[in-house]
Amino acid sequence: MTTTVTCRGVGFSYGAYEALHDVDLDVGRGEIVALAGANGAGKTTLLEVLLGLRRPTSGTVRVLGREPYRERRRLVHAMGAVFQESGCAPDLTVAETMRMWHRLLRRPVGDAGPLTEVRLEHRAHLRVRQLSGGERRRLDLAVALIGEPSLLVLDEPTTGLDPESRALMWELLRRRRCEGTAVLLSTHLHEEAVLHADRVEEIVR
């Protein structure tokens, strides 16, 4: 299996506080890996390290063979991310949001595929603030899918979703896995992760 993500002995500290300690992790192409652990275990911090938003205090990290913090500009088009807090401007419409991100990522604006994939094409005319919480999460995912990323990184993607939206989220992630995308997500819903992910990795600080 081709490895998309490799972590060896990764640590990260906020001053004297050690958020991550000696983490080893591999995520292969076409694999869904769930990070499980208690609140404060460092799951979000690890995802931020992999996205190049934080430099690890110790250890080595490689995403698609590159060091995320130093080579983030080279990797940004190959990664899609869904954070716990939505990054979509509330006063833009759904369609305007997608057009903006297509331009930022230098992708053809006419591609409506991601919106259709998350079943929001019929809401394209609405402003983001008019969407339900589950629809906003689905819009976040649609933005993350722009450009067909090789790696999807999702922080607690199903938290607060209704059962239908949760099922749709997992269905979409499994479909992307079958197409070769590597998926790494954090969750505190251990039973759900065991049911749907290929592998669950416990993060213990």
- Give the lowest-confidence range in 73-77, 143-147, 156-160: 156-160
Please determine, for residue 1, whether its predicted confidence score (pLDDT) is greater than 70.
no
Q: Closest Cα to residue 133, out of 108, 159, 154?
A: 159
Set out the domains of the chain in order of their start, with CATH numbers: 3-87+148-202 (3.40.50.300)
Q: Closest Cα to residue 163, out of 134, 198, 131?
A: 134
CB 181 within 8 A of CB 152: yes
Please tell me the distance from the alpha carbon of residue 181 to that of residue 21, in angstroms, as a whole number: 27
pLDDT band at 162 (very low <50, low <70, confident <90, very high): confident
Within 8 A by CB and 6+ apart from 73, the residues are none
**Tokens representing 4?**
């998309």
pLDDT band at 13 (very low <50, low <70, confident <90, very high): very high
Q: What is the average pLDDT score of the chain?
A: 92
In our burial notation (b when 16+ CB lie closer than 10 A, e otherwise), range 104-116 reads eeebeeeeeebbe
This prediction has a pTM of: 0.92
pLDDT band at 109 (very low <50, low <70, confident <90, very high): low
| Residue 71 C-alpha from the chain's centroid | 18
- Beta-ladder partners of 13: 18
Q: What is the pLDDT of residues 119-147, one digit of tens each?
A: 999 999 999 999 998 899 999 999 999 98
